[in-house]
Amino acid sequence: MTDITHITYLFDPLCGWCYGASATLEKLVARPDLDIRLAPTGLFAGTGARPMDDGFAAYAWTNDQRISRMTGQPFSEDYLRKVLGDRTRLFDSCLPTLALTAVALNAPHREFQALKAIQNARYVEGRDITDLAVLVRILRGLELNDAADQLANLDPRVIAAYQTRLDAARQEMRRFSASGVPALVVGTDDNRRIVQASALFGSMDMLIAGLKAA
């Protein structure tokens, strides 16, 4: 029997580097010897949210181009114009994290698929994933209708689970002195260690070896 390596993926759906790592993460999720649990940190929710002003938009676009050069992930002109150019919305990951939490409650095996769809909607299609109606449509497009219904109604069970997940992920960040996301926590119970984000942007063979190391 194949030994299963348990991994907690610390991320935020508005994190450009997390989007940049998504192709690597997809390969990890597909491996039968790895068990990946998504752990949203709410890094850009609540007190981490901020206005999308000219200075922040310029900073984000410069950073996005660096991510694209390193990973090959696309950041479209629609994203630049419609998302970074929108001064009416906050840079706030609360609602997309609620959407993922609704999926986690109803179809946990499809949460990474939902994350990919939400990231693609933002960075490629230029859609506003801080808009509740947009997120509901994304989930319905994936036929995640129970999750979409709960999200549309801001079901108290989703809100409670959202807070529980954020609290747990933030505790992990504090425990391992993680300064940001993405990051991977490998192992279970007291036998856990952190793998820093840089490992997600290098050799897949080296990443797997690092994840499997005792």
Q: Are 75 and 67 in contact (CB under 8 A)?
A: yes
> What is the per-residue pLDDT for 106?
98
* Planar angle of CA 72, 169, 6, nearest 5 degrees: 70
Distance CA 37, CA 70 (A): 25
pLDDT of residue 48 exceeding 80: yes
Model confidence band, residue 14 (pLDDT cutoffs 50, 70, 90): very high
> What is the per-residue pLDDT for 189?
87
39: phi then psi, degrees, rounded to nearest 5? -135, 90
Q: What is the pTM of this model?
A: 0.96
Coil, strand or helix: which one is 91?
Answer: strand
Q: Are 39 and 165 in contact (CB under 8 A)?
A: yes
Q: Are 122 and 76 in contact (CB under 8 A)?
A: no
Mind listing the pLDDT tens digit for each residue in 156-208? 999 999 999 999 999 999 999 998 999 999 998 889 999 878 999 999 999 99
Model confidence band, residue 2 (pLDDT cutoffs 50, 70, 90): low
Q: What is the CATH number of domain 5-212?
A: 3.40.30.10
- Single-letter amino acid code for the residue at 64: D
